[in-house]
Structure 1
Amino acid sequence: MNLLYWLEPWEPSPTVVIVMIVTAVLFVRGVRKAKLSFARQVSFWFGLVALYVVLHTRLDYFFEHEFFMHRAQHLVLHHLGPFFIALSYPGAALRAGIPFTWRQRFVQPVLQTRAVRMTLDVLLHPVVAVVLFVGLIYFWLLSPIHFIAMIDWRVYRVMNWSMAIDGLMFWWLVLNPRPAPPARLAPGRRILIVIAAIPPQILLGAFIFFSTHELYPVYSICGRAFTWLSPMRDQQIGGLLLWIPGSMMSVLGALIALRHWIRLSARGRLRNERAGKQDAGARPVAGPSATRTSSAHAQR
């Protein structure tokens, strides 16, 4: 067996191929105009390739037949891949990769519609973002839900795509290097939301690890990829993957958000932001009466 054997998809998905190709083409087209650093380009490609590997290679067989392999897959889908894509901050490059006429005729009008703006405001609200980030992990690990997801390929793909999309939204909020605005969250709030996501992951990982009975019998029913690994040991390793690496990724995200906060503060960007808000709040006070007073003084 060679590398090409492992790169062959276990279950081919045109959706994965189209999304990956379109994203890659847009990034290649726009990276020259956006002038991304080499480190940011490497981060983007690492994240994108990581997502492709866990979605569309022969490894998918092992993800469907071992619980700890499934947890490794979701660690990449929900944490590692989206983390490195968000860390590269590729928005400018992806926008630049879209033809200008397409942006004017299609992309901007769609993004400016009320429905899209309201949806994004809800999904990217800090409380909703944390609840979704942690809630999706809990939801797909509920034993009855997990059983259905692992035997129905349609639910299985919905599960994987939901984890990847939610991971991209969450880490985009946390790792955004800009002040607010234009970023949605201030640096301090970015740190808070990623820290808030740590305890629930630890609790669920510890619960799975210390459980005295098999929580996910679907792997024993459908057949395990590694017959030498007992069901309980498989479950314990899966719990550890959620407990330790998942939590450590959140800690790393908090440290990077803290670094952005310190950098922005050192450059005076946060002070300028506060001053702008104060000025904006002071303008409405100078209403029509103040305008009339100013005009009277000018006439005198």
Structure 2
Amino acid sequence: MPALKLLALLLALLAQPAQAHGISDVDPGSLWSYDPWLLAPLYAVGIGFYIGTQRLWRHAGGGRGVSFRQVAAFWTGWLTAALAVTSPLHWLGERLFAAHMVEHELLMVVAAPLMAFARINGPMLWSLPASFRPAAGRILNLPILAAPWRFVSHPMSATILHGVALWVWHAPPLYAWALENTTIHRLQHISFFVSALLFWWVLLHGRGRGRSTRVRDGIAVACLFITILHSGVLGALLTVSPRVWIPGQSAFAGEFGLSALEDQQLAGILMWVPMGILYTGAGLFFAHRWLTANNGHSYPLLV
């Protein structure tokens, strides 16, 4: 099966040296990436979250301010994102459409929701020296920053931005450009992750603006339904298309007994089915909360 062959090749890449040719900065012996433009933000966020969590817990007590579940979610999401952009999967993703799709899905529907659940803004603020925190809070509340944030943090805005990132970067000219230009490739990954992080943060923690929790959960269900529809359409188009969209993306397809078109079809199925299942699972979670709770009061399900 192609999926098992993909796993076998990844294990082989970890176990033995190989030649690295492509746009990624990788160790030729292991094919692990060391791009500082991706590693620096990862380490900055990880170190900041750790320092902020420790300071917050020393001040308020363990598990207060940020829960143990949120800390576990953050580090699971952080590790997933780090492996997606630094492991041999990243190198393989430049040569196999299906691998590139797996990398993007790890960023958008695994790492992003976990890190959004962790609500990292609190620990990151606490990571600053105490004398800097009031000034940082005032800066974040300046109209020049607060007004754009109010716009992008609206559920519909976040849903649209996430959808635009998904569709625009799968347009053949832009996708091919990302495979040829390191800066554009970085921008592609950052766009996927940041738009997904915003999307999930708004669904999980978005301000109610006077709405009840039940109404916000209903809005989350609607946003996820829209996302399931448009991502499923894109996955279906990749799957049923009779032509290859990005010829240069499938250089390793033959290693798995696939043609370039079959590699694209597998990538489309990965977007269509696994991603759709994860979005649907999240939608069911919000739907359950929407149907069974309203400000702490339970409602029986009608049958």
Normalised by the length of structure 1, the TM-score is 0.78
Per-residue CA deviations over 1:60-94 (Å, capped at 9, x if unaligned) read 21011100111111111222110111223333333
Contact 2:153 2:206 in 1 (8 A): no
1:233 deviates by: 1.7
Partner of 1:15: 37
Counterpart check, 1:173 vs 2:202? yes
Residue identity matched to 1:90: I
User: How far is 1:176 from its partner?
Assistant: 2.3
Instruction: Look up the match of 1:224.
Output: 252
Alignment CA distance shift 1:11-1:29 (3 Å): closer
Change in CA separation of 1:197 and 1:229 when aligned onto 2, cut-off 3 Å: same
- The structure where helix makes up a greater share of residues is 1
How has the CA–CA distance of structure 1 residues 19 and 259 changed in structure 2, closer, same or farther, with 3 Å as cutoff?
farther
Over 3 Å counting, the alpha-carbon distance change for 1:111 and 1:266 in structure 2 is: closer
CA contact (8 A) 1:207 1:239 kept: yes
1:102 and 1:261, CA in 2 relative to 1: closer, same or farther beyond 3 A? Answer: farther
8 Å contact from structure 1 (residues 77, 163) kept in 2: yes
The CA distance in 2 between the partners of 1:254 and 1:67, in whole Å, is 27
Rounded Cα–Cα distance in structure 1 between residues aligned with 2:288 and 2:126: 27
In 1, the alpha carbon distance for the partners of 2:113 and 2:192 equals 12
Deviates more, 1:90-99 or 1:158-167: 90-99
The 5 Å alignment of 1:64-83 reads: 64-83=94-113
1:9 and 1:57 in contact (8 A); partners too = yes
**What code does the residue aligned with 1:267 have?**
G
Asked if structure 2 preserves the Cα contact closer than 8 Å seen for 1:132 and 1:166, the reply is yes
CA separation of 1:150 and 1:192: change in aligned 2, threshold 3 A: same
Contact 1:187/1:258, CA 8 A, preserved across alignment = yes
Inter-partner Cα distance in structure 2 for 1:180 and 1:98: 29
Question: 2:42 matched to 1:42?
Answer: no
> What is the root-mean-square deviation of aligned Cα atoms in Å?
2.9
In structure 2, relative to structure 1, the CA distance for the partners of 1:232 and 1:12 (3 Å cut) is same
The structural deviation recorded for 1:138 is 1.0
Query: What pairs up with 1:259-274 in 2 under 5 angstroms?
Result: 259-261=288-290, 265=294, 267=296
Please, which moves more after superposition, 31-40 or 210-219?
31-40
Supply the AA of the counterpart residue of 1:224.
Answer: F
Q: Spell out structure 1 runs of 4+ moving beyond 4 A.
A: 1-11, 177-185, 259-264
2:262 paired residue number: 233
Q: Which runs of 5+ in 2 are unaligned?
A: 1-12, 18-25, 58-62, 299-303
2:279 corresponds to 1:250? yes
Q: 1:80 to 1:141 in 2, by over 3 A?
A: same
Could you list the per-position Cα deviations for residues 178-229 of structure 1 after superposition, in whole angstroms to 9, with x for gaps in the alignment?
8655999823212211221111111111111111221221225xx3265332
Structure 2 match to 1:200? 230
Alignment partners' CA distance in 2, 1:180 and 1:249: 28
Which of 70, 83, 92 pairs up with 2:122? 92
TM-score, structure 2 normalization: 0.78
* 1:211 aligned partner: 241
How far the C-alpha of 1:9 sits from its partner, in A, is: 6.2
Equivalent of 1:57 in 83, 87, 90: 87
The code of the aligned residue for 2:52 comes to G
The answer to whether the 8 Å contact 1:209/1:237 transfers is yes
Structure 1 alignment gaps of length 5 or more: 270-300
Counterpart AA for 1:175: L
Q: Shift of residue 118 of structure 1?
A: 1.7
* 1:2 to partner: Cα distance: 5.5
Note the 1:138-157 alignment, pairs <5 A. 138-157=167-186
Paired residue type of 2:183: R
Q: What does the per-residue CA deviation read over 1:133-158, in whole Å, with 9 as the maximum and x for residues that have no partner?
A: 11211111111111111111111111
Aligned to 1:189: 219
- Shift in alpha-carbon separation, 1:47–1:226, aligned structure 2, 3 A: farther
Asked if structure 1 preserves the Cα contact closer than 8 Å seen for 2:89 and 2:103, the reply is no
